[in-house]
Amino acid sequence: MRQKAFKPAWASRRLHKSAVEVLQHPEPEDTITSSYGKFISNIKAEHLSPVVLQRSKRMVLDSIGVGLIGSTTDVFALALQHCQHMYAHDEISSVYGRRDTKLSPTLAAFVNGVATHSMDFDDTWHPATHPSGAVLPAVLAISDMMPANCKPSGLDLLLAFNVGIEIQGRLMRFSNEAHNIPKRFHPPSVVGTMGSAAACARLLSLDQSQCSHALAIAASLSGAPMANAATQSKPLHIGNASRLGLEAALLASRGLEASTQILDAVDGVSGFSAFYEDYKPCMLESPNDYGHTFLLETQDMGFKRFPAHLGMHWVADAATNIYKLLLEYGPGEVQIQDILIRTPKSKYINRPFPKSKHEARHSFQFNTCSALLDGEVTVQSFTPTAMTRPDLLALLNLVRVEHPHDNPANFNQMYGEVQVTLVGGNVLRGRCDTFYGHWRNPLTNESLRKKFRSNAGVVLPREKVEGLIDVVEELEQLEDCRVLLSQLQ
């Protein structure tokens, strides 16, 4: 019997020559993109060092806390109402602070991400981004989605979370521009989406190719302009990063494909390089017999003591030092004539007379004057009553701002300096090079738990707040992450 002859698929389809070449040459194994897909797919829990585990658990605790207090904001309420009114009910994943409310996984990731950034209270890393808010809501939402008989363990959750953090940090090191306070786009809307996709791909146990495609799909869902900083729309950047990264991973799990060179520098065709003008990508080595050194191992995270842009913490600490000096004067002896602030040049956080709490959180002037008046900046500093005090408004009218050349717009190099001149000529000076909470001067566990108790206690009863602290502290020991999920409402 004569054997039937088969033509190759490309011959019968009459494909263009370039398409034939793609079919004949499978996805390259030595691209930067494939190295990231391989890392995400191959990394294991045993590669997490004790330092990384401890630091990432602190991030999880802080992120949950700011998400819970963020669930009381008007921005969160609007986002939640939108999701409930515009989409079909799909009660799968938990919503921060809402006992009887569940949404689809992607919508839960969205609203919880919005909650996390609604007060600008979430963690910040260097190069500048808010890493946890883009990743944790997605990881929690997808954990809720998984069947009861195969829920991830606490260690699985921590591994996925750390993968999402690591990918963000690695991508931001592709560019020197990324090291500075942003001007064009909000970084978590770009690297955060990629980190969310990576974390979800890891938790879904996608293969190397699917992980690469998840990143490439996420790149098509990324980006938000800095013009929306200091508005109600800024928290949407984090919510969308979390949601769209999760969607990218789910689409990749169903077989959707995208560019296999999205992270590579390809002449004439921009991939991830579209976001950075000085883009120089490099391979990500997969773990070997000696493990893998996560970026979190060598650089800790920055945690905020009050809900405002990270840059505000330098001037607030400098002004608090002057407040202590002012206390040495007797009642009625102090009359301020001039306030000089020396900060990096960054237009979107130079706001002389903020008109909303969102603008106040992004105002060197407002946070300096609040600290001079009260000796600290707190959650209550951004209430309408506090913002419209005559004493505060009077101080704002005395402020001048300078931008010294030795003070770069870089969270790892900047400083904040405040100089107050009193009537009579006395000059008081305060300077902060590294505020308490910066990665070089991290919050103690006691301070971090105090912040968490204050934030979570606005929404949850005391026993649940303490229970969450205990659960997160032992997270890597949990066999089933439902123990954590059940505490969030």
For the domain that residue 164 is a member of, what is the CATH number? 1.10.4100.10
Give the model's confidence band at 28: pLDDT under 50 very low, under 70 low, under 90 confident, else very high: low
Query: How is residue 260 written in tokens?
Result: 């296999």
Q: Tell me how far CA of residue 453 lies from CA of 259, 341, 397, in angstroms.
A: 45, 33, 36
Eight-state DSSP code of residue 22:
H
Q: Give the residue among 74, 134, 157, 62 at the shortest CA–CA distance from 447.
A: 62
Residue 458 resides in a domain: no
Computed on alpha carbons and rounded to an integer, the radius of gyration of the chain in Å comes to 24
H or E element: which one contains 386? helix 384-387
Question: Is 416 inside a domain boundary?
Answer: yes
Let me know whether 270 and 351 are in one domain: no
In order of 283, 292, 294, the CA distances from 287 in angstroms are: 13, 5, 10
pLDDT value of residue 147:
93
- Cβ atoms of 242 and 113 within 8 Å: the answer is yes
Mean pLDDT of the region 383-410? 97
**Both 295 and 323 in a single domain?**
no
Res 7: pLDDT: 41
3-class DSSP assignment, residue 320 = helix
Q: So what's the pLDDT on residue 333?
A: 83
Please give the DSSP secondary-structure letter assigned to residue 443. Answer: P
Check whether residue 179 and residue 66 sit in a common domain: yes
Q: What is the DSSP letter of 149?
A: G
296 and 344 part of one domain: no
In a domain, 462, yes or no: no
What are the DSSP calls for 182-239, one per residue? Answer: PSSB-GGGTHHHHHHHHHHHHHTT--HHHHHHHHHHHHTT---BGGGTTSTTHHHHHH
* pLDDT score of 290: 73
108-135 confidence digits (pLDDT tens): 999 999 999 999 999 999 999 999 999 9
Q: Which of 81-110 are b and which e, b meaning 16 or more Cβ less than 10 Å from the residue's Cβ?
A: eebeeeeeeeebbbbbbbeebbbbbbbbbb
Residues 272 and 336 in one domain: no
* Residue-level pLDDT at 332: 78
Q: Is 444 part of any domain?
A: no
Residue 65 and residue 110 in one domain = yes
Which pTM was predicted? 0.92
Identify the helix (H) or strand (E) that includes residue 451: helix 445-456
Predicted local confidence at residue 27, as pLDDT: 52
Q: How many domains in the chain?
A: 2
Residues 366 and 299 in one domain: no
449 is written with which tokens? Answer: 């738990």
74 part of a folded domain: yes
Domain that holds residue 333: 310-432
Question: pLDDT band at 489, cuts 50/70/90?
Answer: confident
Residue 20 lies in a domain: no
On average, the pLDDT of the chain sits at 93
Query: Does residue 7 lie in a domain region?
Result: no
Least confident span in 5-14, 384-393, 402-411 = 5-14
The per-residue pLDDT for range 131-181, each reduced to its tens digit, is 999 999 999 999 999 999 999 999 999 999 999 999 999 999 999 999 999
CB atoms within 10 A of CB 48: 24
pLDDT band at 18 (very low <50, low <70, confident <90, very high): very low
